[in-house]
A and B are shown apart, each in its own frame.
Chain A
Amino acid sequence: MSRRDFLLRKFLLSLVTIFVVIVINFMLFRVLPGDPVRSVIGRNVRISAETQQALREQFGLDKPIFPDQFIDTIGQWAQGNLGISWSLRRPVSEVLMSKLGNTVLLIGLGQVLAIFLGVTLGLLAGWKRKTAIDVGALTFSLVAWAIPTFWLGIIFLAAGSAWFGLPTAGIMSPENTGKPLMTILPDLARHLFLPTLTLTILYLGEYMLIMRSSILEVLSEDYILTAKAKGMSDWQVLWRHALRNAMLPIVTLIALNLGFTVSGAIYIETVFSYDGLGKLFQTALVKQDYPLLQGAFLLLAVSVIIANMAADILYAVLDPRVKES
């Protein structure tokens, strides 16, 4: 398959997936009992029947659900109009945008740390297979996989606040809001420490495992034996020949992990009352704020799909084998 075909296929797949997400999102909230006009007017029951009917006509709710309403809704979403949150009484898109930065910060920090540590430890574990390092790394990733994310977060929360006096909620102390970034960095770091730690441990295991099996596969190749026979040291072999080839699966894993990353953010932000999209999602769930839930799902799903496509493009650039036809 040529690189162009590969990318075209991935692009089409992303489009189809986004379409599926939109259909799910549209259908799900149409099957709910009750009247969708409420998602526009909020829970204000005092609006008269005539006004409600007028609104219904204005928003096209008197038309058939498919195709009129469906196309209309997609048009609205495409313009960034996701309705009004029932519980916060603000436009959903505005609420989502105000939380996006915090989540990107948390996920980004956790991912970078996990990739760095995971690749290093996986490399060591694969190189020194069946030694204490390897067994330790495998045990760690196994246990980390079996531990529910939110429970690990609860334990860190309890231990961190009781023994180290770390803050238990939020992204910064209330008195620091609005101050210049440089002066509040230490406070920010104290708030970010526990959520980032939990997130890193959550992702670390899988990167380590993939890196380990990937390096094992590379080390069984004949060119490694040749390099060794030339008299290169283990380190030289690892650095010059093994690492680069073994890193490729990590790129795909980062892409595949994005959905998993979002799941982790929902749990961790809930446990640490971290003011991001994950916490917002959970709040919308508990308060049955459907416009907010719908908007948050749309944003999370579409970002993950687009990020996945970006990773596929990166992979095609990095892996020369994709070029061959």
Chain B
Amino acid sequence: MNENWALFKRNLFEFWKAFRRNKLGLLGGFLVLTAILAATFAPLLTPYAPTEVIRDVNGRGLTFAPPSVHAPLGTDDAGRDIWSQLIYGARVSLAVGFLAGFIAMFIGSLFGILAGYFGGRIDNLLMRVTDVLLVIPDLPLMLVLVATLRQMDLHVSPLVVLVFVIGLLYWTSTARLIRSQVLTIKERQYVARSRAIGAGHVHIIRKHILPQIMPLIVANTVLIISTAILIESGLAFLGLGDPTQPSWGAMLNFAFDRSAVTNGAWWFYLPPGFAIVWVTLGCVLLGNVLEDMLNPRLTAHHLESNQNMIAIQKREGE
């Protein structure tokens, strides 16, 4: 166990040395980290509670007020502070996105490892299920699922419904990715040797397969989280969020329903969208950089200048 830990620490350090040279990756990490920090320390960063109505001297709600010293990003149709809603909304959007992402990653990895390692029937089942899920249009499917689940008396928050529906539908690409990776790893010599000296399936998966595919799982999870956040915002925009705990998508649903566009209240409909782009862009940058570092792509390009080609050939010959 100790050896493994030391190896893990060394790998992590090597990885960080490569990662910190990548500007896009660092930018992505920065975007994601700031959003997580904002969500964590929401009470410290907000002047009002998200539901609190800001009133003028006569006690009337300050509705559709443009940004000012009282409300840094203006107020909505009921006179509530947009900035405070935005920061608290980060909690909802990130929580749903991360939880749904983790569920998808867990199911996808489990299914992918089992299918890749054992092959046969379970592999066949995985491929057929993903074939079917791939073709059914995802948004309409999610909409009817969420709409019916909300009608049943489940006594759970609408957000829990969103987490499970997104998590249970978005694991297929992960499963296929992990499966193909496991297929190549299980053919390697050390796995065959390990099996020859009598190692069981659980041992081989834990000691040989899992450590190899872990980085890929991490990179893929980051990408799935960005998808989950985008999907959540879309479902919430279409009115399937939790009105008592508005995410960024639900804020946009309010803004659109209460005619922020025709009222010219740009401070109402722009910030939540920027927040969504902030996080999803961060996750995508981070995820893509992680994936690229783990899967080197093609290097040859026969229509680029000769100098380049020589450089590539040299590198390959080293």
CB nearest neighbor in A for B285: A142
In the complex, number of A-B residue pairs with CB atoms less than 8 Å apart: 168
CB nearest neighbor in A for B227: A145
- Segment of A24-32, A109-117, A176-184 in the binding face: A24-32
0 or 1 for each of A267-303: is its CB under 8 Å from B? (1 = yes): 1001100000000011001101000011011001100
CB nearest neighbor in A for B146: A285
CB nearest neighbor in B for A300: B140
Pick the residue among B135, B273, B281 that contacts A154 (CB under 8 A): B273
Pick the residue among B240, B273, B300 that contacts A155 (CB under 8 A): B273
0 or 1 for each of B133-153: is its CB under 8 Å from A? (1 = yes): 011111111011101100111
Contact across chains for A220 and B301 when beta carbons are under 8 A apart: yes
B19 at the A interface (CB under 8 A): no
CB nearest neighbor in A for B274: A151
A201 at the B interface (CB under 8 A): no
A94 at the B interface (CB under 8 A): no
Alpha-carbon gap, A271 to B301, bound state (A)? 43
B254-278 contacts to A (CB < 8 Å): 255-256, 261-262, 264, 266, 269-270, 272-273, 276-277
Alpha-carbon gap, A145 to B131, bound state (A)? 24
Contact across chains for B135 and A146 when beta carbons are under 8 A apart: no
Chain B interface size, under 10 / 10 to 19 / 20 to 34 / 35 or more: 35 or more
0 or 1 for each of A137-158: is its CB under 8 Å from B? (1 = yes): 0000011011111110011011
Contact across chains for B148 and A266 when beta carbons are under 8 A apart: no
Contact across chains for A219 and B140 when beta carbons are under 8 A apart: no
Contact across chains for B273 and A147 when beta carbons are under 8 A apart: yes
Using Cβ atoms and an 8 Å threshold, which residues of chain A touch B85? none
Alpha-carbon gap, A94 to B252, bound state (A)? 32
B135-182 contacts to A (CB < 8 Å): 135-141, 143-145, 147-148, 151-153
Further contacts, 9 of them, CB under 8 A, given A146-B280, A158-B266: A13-B128, A14-B135, A24-B141, A127-B303, A145-B284, A148-B273, A150-B256, A259-B136, A294-B144
Q: Which residues of A contact B (CB under 8 A)?
A: 13-14, 16-17, 20-21, 24-25, 28-29, 31-33, 127, 129, 142-143, 145-151, 154-155, 157-158, 161-162, 168, 216-217, 219-221, 224-225, 228, 234, 237-238, 256, 258-260, 262-263, 266-267, 270-271, 281-282, 285-286, 288, 293-294, 296-297, 300-301, 304-305, 308
* 16 residue pairs bridging A and B, Cβ less than 8 Å apart: A14-B135, A16-B128, A148-B276, A148-B277, A150-B237, A151-B233, A151-B252, A154-B255, A158-B269, A260-B137, A263-B138, A267-B237, A270-B238, A271-B256, A293-B147, A301-B137
